[in-house]
Amino acid sequence: MALTNRDSDIMSRRAEDAIEHISAIQNSKGYKWFLFFKRLKTQFIRGNIQEKKDFFRWIWSKLTRRENGSKWLQAFDNLEQVRFILEDLYFNGLTPAEMSAKAWKAKNTRQVFIFAGVPYHDIGGGQRCAQLARIFNELGYRVYYFHEFGTDELCIPKSRVPAICYKRIDHCQVDEVASVVEDGAIFVFEIPSATFKPYFDFAVKNGFFTIYEHIDNWDSSLGSSFQYSEHMLKHYLQNATQVTVTARLLAEKLEATYHRPYIYLPNAVNSSLFEPMRTYPKPKDLIIGKKTLLYFGSLWGDWFDWELVIYLAKNCKCEINLIGDYAALKKRIKKMPRNMHFLGEKDQSELPAYLYYSDIALLPFKNDTIGKYVSPLKVFEYIAMNKPVLATPLDDIIGYPNVFCSSRKEDWAAKVSENWEITDTTVFTSQNSWYARCNAMLALLPHEESTKPCVSIIVLNHNNMSVIFRCVDSLLAFSGKYDCEIIAVDNDSTDGSYTRLLEQYQGRIKVIRNEKNGCSSGRNLGAAAAKGEYLFFLDSDQWVVSDDYLKCPLQILQSDETVGAVGWAAGWFDPGDYKGPIADYLPNRGMISPNVFYRTDIAYLGSGGLLMKRALFEKIQGFDECYDPTCFEDTDLSLKIRNAGFELAYCPYMPIMHLPHQTTQSGSKQHEQLMNQNGTYFLEKWKALNEKLLDYPLK
């Protein structure tokens, strides 16, 4: 018997509840002890020689805090298998017909298969392959994530992996990949692992584009984690379509030994997370001093220069905050200076706040056989937050903005007391974001020549000196794939931004003056001056970070004639009201699965990141100027599009960043009055015109 939509919704909610209950059980101390004793019984008491060896390897890995190839503790956890099955059913179990019934459209985009050493959530989800998976998903690709090893089983995150398929490699077979892979797929391999070799060989044999990422000096102690062999590394280097290298010295060593061409792609920053213009709540456990110093990351490695950090603590008036797992250091900590504070592990999303309230960031890595071959990911995060950085002279980071490099502890101490002149790092961050790294990988692919769609981009400005120029600069930097014109409409600014727009972008963009401050009237003026087939509306507190920012919405408009507009932001109405939930405040921004490309069951689209055809905009007579200066003009436009017989498509797969509440006085009494006034007008207008269009609650 076929399931109704209601039955399917109930099953989905029950699956979600079951996943949450299982995670709660797995995170309890009692259950973790149960798994430990189960492993003890299975391997040490009843196991054969190999199982006993694996048990002791695992014990040693816990003492040294290093992964060494032993079985993951969750391999003994039956609940983990249940959770994987439920997540697969909940997130990806819907058929195309079931998706269509829910007004969700499945992705039919290019596939990216990632073969990583560790799970997605390792190091808080900050490690390289996790970031690549996240960005490829945000660009609209279908991501498949396979990992060889486990991670610290004491922390099982609940956040969803942005992948259609997420499996440990020993739970998979090559035939499974072969059954789903399509033409044009990309295969990315992070380690030269023998376990991944069958998948690598399959991809090479069938002509798929393969990237081998050389991220570490594997002939050091790091290689023991997966039984590294030079023969296997050579196999990957000789047969991969493209090789990328993360550190210069690593590249030199690779080139000298194997003479293989490569692309230099160091680590990068999650620029949507590490944003210095946001305000952050002060972390309660951060110890503030005359100078507040911060380090976050691994604390257990031999490459960490404790002598340097202790010298700073003893010789500078400062408080040093260290974020990371310090379980293996408890005896040493007792002997360390009292102004060194160990704050424990933090989720990656918490780290920007710690940086925001710190004066100096630290990178005390030794130039040893591991440290000197590393592209330190955290340095990009430090720099993105405009923080001065004290670092050892690692080859890759010398010359980075706001980074002082020295191996002498006396030099470090002297710099702590100085007042540094900080260089703005906006451009550096843009060039070294994970979007930039994925863009560089995609640029390696063979591209077919195609006609560039003509798009008119309309941005409003009203006293937005602090944000409008980043918006326009990003559009100029990332619009090469499109035949674009940029139209900035100034809504009666008084802060000098109108004059500066004219002077700074003379001849490169159109600048139009609106004699009043009105979102509707301003956008209508921009549209009247537009020449493009498509209109793309963007707010001044937004900026783009990839030249694929229009790829997905254009694909939707060109392939689905029922869709009149595609938007990056969306919302729903509560029954009988003009207010309701918006996508920004929903889990995963309202996308229930990484396999959903767009959904049409939304009530309206926000104007910040909205694409539509100019012909349709003119047919429905654009924005209603009764909503000036602001509030509900985009909601009204959305209903006008629906009233003309078209659907609205919500698709968050546009690489757009947003700094909220820069274009409105959200939360102020004046803004609240406008919301109520225009909301009442909107509700009365559409109750009279087409009341059915107000019946779009979140389901």
**For the range 528-533, what are the long-range contacts, defined as Cβ-Cβ under 8 Å and sequence gap of 24 or more?**
529/487, 530/456, 530/458, 530/485, 530/487, 530/614, 531/454, 531/456, 531/485, 532/454, 532/455, 532/456, 532/483, 532/484, 532/485, 532/614, 533/453, 533/454, 533/455, 533/613, 533/614, 533/615
Percent of all residues in the chain with a pLDDT value above 70, rounded to a whole number: 90
More confident: 351 or 149: 351
More confident: 289 or 17: 289
pLDDT tens digits along 408-437: 999 999 999 998 899 999 999 999 999 999
Once rounded to an integer, what is the mean pLDDT over residues 54-79? 69
For 4, counting Cβ atoms within 10 Å of its Cβ (0-12 exposed, 13-18 middle, 19+ buried), the class is: exposed
Report the pLDDT value the prediction gives residue 155, as an integer from 0 to 100. Answer: 44
Report the pLDDT value the prediction gives residue 1, as an integer from 0 to 100. Answer: 34
Length of the chain in residues, anyone? Answer: 699
| Of 678, 683, 572, nearest in space to 630 by CA | 678
- The CA distance from 180 to 111, in Å, is 10
Helix or strand or coil: residue 165? Answer: strand
Q: Which CATH class is domain 108-268+432-446?
A: alpha beta
pLDDT tens digits along 181-237: 999 999 999 999 999 999 999 999 999 999 999 998 888 777 777 788 999 999 999
Which are the contacts of 442, defined by CB distance < 8 A and separation ≥ 6?
Answer: 548
The C-alpha R_g of the chain, in whole angstroms, comes to 27
676: tokens are: 């109520």
Helix or strand or coil: residue 30? Answer: helix
Report the pLDDT value the prediction gives residue 3, as an integer from 0 to 100. Answer: 38
Report the pLDDT value the prediction gives residue 18, as an integer from 0 to 100. Answer: 77
Whether the CB-CB separation of 234 and 272 falls below 8 Å is answered with: no
Residue 404 has φ and ψ, to the nearest 5°, of -105, 125
HEC string of 626-639 equals HHCCCCCHHHHHHH
Report the pLDDT value the prediction gives residue 85, as an integer from 0 to 100. Answer: 61
Whether the CB-CB separation of 144 and 113 falls below 8 Å is answered with: yes
For 484, counting Cβ atoms within 10 Å of its Cβ (0-12 exposed, 13-18 middle, 19+ buried), the class is: buried
Which are the contacts of 625, defined by CB distance < 8 A and separation ≥ 6?
Answer: 518, 520, 521, 524
Whether the CB-CB separation of 121 and 159 falls below 8 Å is answered with: yes
Report the pLDDT value the prediction gives residue 33, as an integer from 0 to 100. Answer: 86
Q: What is the CATH number of domain 448-694?
A: 3.90.550.10
Confidence band for 514, pLDDT divided at 50, 70 and 90? very high
Once rounded to an integer, what is the mean pLDDT over residues 107-132? 90
Lowest-pLDDT choice from 77-81, 284-288, 412-416, 654-658: 77-81
Report the pLDDT value the prediction gives residue 45, as an integer from 0 to 100. Answer: 87
58 pLDDT higher than 80: no
What residues does each domain of the chain span? 8-106, 108-268+432-446, 292-431, 448-694
- The CA distance from 102 to 155, in Å, is 34
Report the pLDDT value the prediction gives residue 135, as an integer from 0 to 100. Answer: 97
Mean pLDDT of the chain: 88
Query: What is the topology classification, in CATH, of domain 292-431?
Result: Rossmann fold (3.40.50)
pLDDT tens digits along 83-113: 666 655 555 556 666 667 678 898 999 999 9
Report the pLDDT value the prediction gives residue 71, as an integer from 0 to 100. Answer: 65
Report the pLDDT value the prediction gives residue 156, as an integer from 0 to 100. Answer: 47
CATH topology match: 292-431 vs 448-694: no
Report the pLDDT value the prediction gives residue 520, as an integer from 0 to 100. Answer: 97
- The CA distance from 351 to 321, in Å, is 12
- The CA distance from 692 to 694, in Å, is 5
How many helices and strands, by DSSP H and E, does the chain display?
24, 26
Residue 86 has φ and ψ, to the nearest 5°, of -65, -40
pLDDT tens digits along 469-493: 999 999 999 998 899 999 999 999 9
